[in-house]
């Protein structure tokens, strides 16, 4: 049980770090989308842009491998 809880913690930590890094990258590279999403209260453009950033990063990683 201890190994499972440590593994779960590591997975949650990695996912959190990846999402935080992608969000910061989105703030830096596309501030207009972020500002518009925050101003209008619409989260869907922000989530769409975040998904595009993650997809681009993973596709680049897969090309590297």
Identify the DSSP state of 65. -
Q: pLDDT class for 6, splitting at 50, 70, 90?
A: confident
> Are 2 and 10 contacting, i.e. CB atoms less than 8 angstroms apart?
no
Q: pLDDT class for 65, splitting at 50, 70, 90?
A: confident
- pLDDT (tens digit per residue) in 12-61: 999 899 888 888 888 888 888 778 877 888 878 778 888 888 888 888 88
* Per-residue model confidence (pLDDT) at position 44: 81
Residue 5 has pLDDT above 80, yes or no: no
Number of Cβ within 10 Å of residue 50's Cβ equals: 19
Identify the DSSP state of 24. H
């Amino acid at each position: 049980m201890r190994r499972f809880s440590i593994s779960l913690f590591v997975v949650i930590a990695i996912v959190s770090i990846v999402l935080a890094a992608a969000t910061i990258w989105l703030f830096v590279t596309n501030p207009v989308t972020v500002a518009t999403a925050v101003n209008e209260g619409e989260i869907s453009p922000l989530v769409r842009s975040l998904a595009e950033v993650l997809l681009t990063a993973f596709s680049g990683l897969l090309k590297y491998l």
